[in-house]
Amino acid sequence: MPDRLTGKRRGGIRPFQEAARHGPIALGEAVVTSAGRLPFKAIIHVAGIDMPWRASERSIRGSVRSAMALVDAGGFASVAFPVVGAGSGSFSPDAALRLMVDEFGKLQSRAQARIVRFQPRARQDA
């Protein structure tokens, strides 16, 4: 079974070129770009991990706050988040999820926010 294309491969390089024009994103901050070839209005890129590829409570909470500020400023009706800091950030997915839910509880927004937990698909060899 062929591997599904990742969001980055499906969306193309344009959003990442746009993000690069913003320069380095401070830890816990966010920038908005076009969605490239993805069927969405925009992509919000967050700096949820530091240079040694580690997430922290501060970076996770800041990423949620910064991204939601851009969601509200852009008038977006909804947004989907991965579990910030899990994966390459080496933060416990369950702990990161708890931090995110707690941070969402402190914010007021008209937008609907969803947290998406990615589960690796088992590969099936022929």
Taking the CA atoms of 60, 66, 68 and 70 in sequence, report the sign of the dihedral they define. negative
**Domain for residue 84, yes or no?**
yes
Amino acid identity for residue 111 in this structure: A
Residue 2: is its pLDDT beyond 60? no
In a domain, 94, yes or no: yes
pLDDT value of position 4: 47
Q: 83 in a domain, yes or no? A: yes
Asked if residue 88 is part of any domain, the answer here is yes
Residue 124 in any domain: the answer is: no
Residue 96: pLDDT over 90:
yes
120 has a pLDDT exceeding 80: no
Query: Looking at this protein, which amino acid is placed at residue 79?
Result: V
Mean pLDDT of 109-113: 97
- Residue 121 is assigned to a structural domain of this protein: no
CATH of the domain at 71: 3.40.220.10
Q: How confident is the model at residue 123 (pLDDT cuts 50, 70, 90)?
A: low
pLDDT tier, 7 (very low <50, low <70, confident <90, very high otherwise) = low
d(C-alpha 118, C-alpha 126), whole Å? 24
Predicted model pTM: 0.87
What tens digit of pLDDT does each residue of 10-55 get? 889 999 999 999 999 999 999 999 999 999 999 999 999 999 999 9
Q: CB-side exposure of 111: number of CA atoms within 13 Å?
A: 20
Range of the domain at 36: 7-116
Nearest to 44 by CA among 34, 63, 35, 31: 31
Nearest Cα to Cα of residue 82 among 117, 50, 113: 117
Is 126 a domain residue? no
Distance CA 88, CA 84 (A): 10
Domain assignment present for residue 68? The answer is yes
**pLDDT value at position 87?**
86
Residues 6+ apart with CB under 8 A from 114: 78, 79, 80, 81
Domain count, the chain: 1
Residue range 58-85: mean pLDDT, rounded: 97
Identify the helix (H) or strand (E) that includes residue 90: none
Q: How far apart are CA 68 and CA 77, in angstroms?
A: 11
